[in-house]
Structure 1
């Protein structure tokens, strides 16, 4: 831009330098605004995109002993994803088995999202009406 402004000034258009300087100043302001906006979005706790919600629910659905999933809550803070959800499991399942299944689901979610903090609560299917698992 500087070379172009000098060239135009030498060709008889002396106002080219200030015009290019103003253009460059606006570009710098725009870039600074974009960087600031992205930084604020990164630092604010924001819900994860719908695609991530869908992927999390699909991971949960893939476990054969999970009867349903509800209360899926997500947020991001910096580079970390925070994922909370409730698994619907068989009413008569022993607590040890329910915990094992929750650990397996958590491991599957962490495989897909390594920088995640996952919190899973196990619910019996009769406690809350389960959401249907489409697919």
Structure 2
């Protein structure tokens, strides 16, 4: 039951994260184009900027933690299952965890690229995209077990 509620909370956070990035991208698109009034700069308010920062950090921390605990080649999140878990349970956890990571990558990459081409329109998105890039590198290092030689 604990795993189910934890998974539900993490999915809700991912949904809010994707929504905030989507709104931010629409605002940037509107502000950078002529005559658009549907998504003015004021639409992405300070509360949204703060939520993007906090929720983006939480989602990224979850992804990095799961990738750090997973063995290379193993699906993130597989460790939550009991040793005798059914094939269907293993498949479901694998699909959900891989999709979670892919959505995080897609949303973060979108924030990074939009912020790269429109750095001044919405600084909260630009800052988040740059922070996401550093976190994505950390996630890759964590998953593949890369570390400097001593």
Task: Provide the TM-score with structure 2 as the length reference.
Answer: 0.27
Looking at both structures, which has the greater relative contact order when contacts are Cα pairs under 8 Å and sequence separation is at least 6? 2
Report the structure, 1 or 2, having the larger helix content.
2
- Higher CA-based Rg: 1
Task: Provide the TM-score with structure 1 as the length reference.
Answer: 0.30
